Structure 1
Amino acid sequence: MKSNQNYKAEAGFTLLELLVVLVILGLLAGLVGPRLFGKADAAKVQTAQTQIQMLKSGLLTYRLDLGKFPSEQEGLKALNSPPSDERQRKLWDGPYLGDELPMDPWGMPYQYKPGSSQPQGFLLFSYGADGKRGGEGLDADIGYLPEG
């Protein structure tokens, strides 16, 4: 019988094998990573558009009940809080949002201004990724924007 000591195999990877695997993983991350981050940015734009539609629905329902949009001072918070005026409080049938008032996907409040010349009667928008007026691509303003 032969001894098992002669056929002893060592388990594990060599340093060279580990380096090759790390290089391959690095290349894959370099190719796939930017595409995934691009999709995340596009998803934020889509989320903002969806939230703006939700806020618009709340504003239109508020107007149906009270006969007017919330004032600029009341802002979008009026969709979840009854008015202080007793007569209007009786007409208020809110809350008009299912949850709390959302921030835009970049952590900034949505901009709201009633009495616009826009067909819907108000301005409602996000300044986009850069948080500033104007911009292009991901930095572009999203929603019912002021003209000009």
Structure 2
Amino acid sequence: MKEKLLMHYRRQQGFTLLELLVVLMIIALLAGFVGPRLFSQVDQAKDKTALNQMKSLSDALSQYRLDVGQYPSETQGLKALIDRPSGVTGWRGPYLSKSVPNDPWGNPYQWHNPTRNKNAVYEVELLATGNDGKTINYGF
């Protein structure tokens, strides 16, 4: 009798192919519903990160302007926040604790002084090239 029960349990171990296919189908359906929502959240997070980084850069640029009397030129670029540009008096930097970061998409931030948009209400602008070439503008 013991051998009969032992053989019965050995045959019952594991899953059938049909059970495995049902589980895989459920996982695929869940991934189909959850995946697109999750990836849209990632894009929104990158936009918010870019805006936060540009706010930090604008604070450093404002401090630079208070010390030097003007924003760095376009040729000096954002590097002027880390390294003292030649011929600049009153520089008390570095104004950032680390090097100038790239935007969340891996591209360098673009600095325009004066702004490229002549109808803008701000004099300088900081740009990030977002997802699919979309530009995030931070003017001040």
Under a length normalisation based on structure 1, what TM-score does the superposition of the two structures give?
A: 0.81
In the TM superposition, 1:3-22 aligns within 5 A as 3-8=1-6, 9-10=9-10, 11-22=13-24
Q: How many Å separate the matches in 2 of 1:93 and 1:27?
A: 58
CA distance in 1, matches of 2:136, 2:39: 20
Moved more, 63-72 or 113-122: 113-122
Which runs of at least 4 in structure 1 moved beyond 2 Å after TM superposition? 115-121
State the superposition RMSD in angstroms. 1.7
Residue 17 of structure 1, CA deviation:
1.0
Identity, in percent, stands at: 48
The amino acid that maps onto 1:102 is P
The number of residue pairs the alignment matches comes to: 132
Paired residue for 1:54, among 50, 53, 56? 56
Q: Over residues 51-93 of structure 1, what are the superposed CA-to-partner deviations in whole Å (9 max), with x where a residue is unaligned?
A: 11111101100011111111111100111111222x62xx222
1:115 Cα deviation after fit: 2.9
Shift in CA distance, 119/57, structure 1 to aligned 2, threshold 3 Å: farther
Q: For residues 72-129 of structure 1, what are the alpha-carbon distances to aligned partners after superposition, in whole Å with 9 as ceiling and x for unaligned? A: 11100111111222x62xx222111122211111111111111346555311111321
- Which ranges in structure 1 are unaligned for 5 or more consecutive residues? 132-138
In structure 2, distance between residues paired with 1:115 and 1:127: 19
| Aligned counterparts of 1:119 and 1:55: Cα–Cα separation in 2 | 19
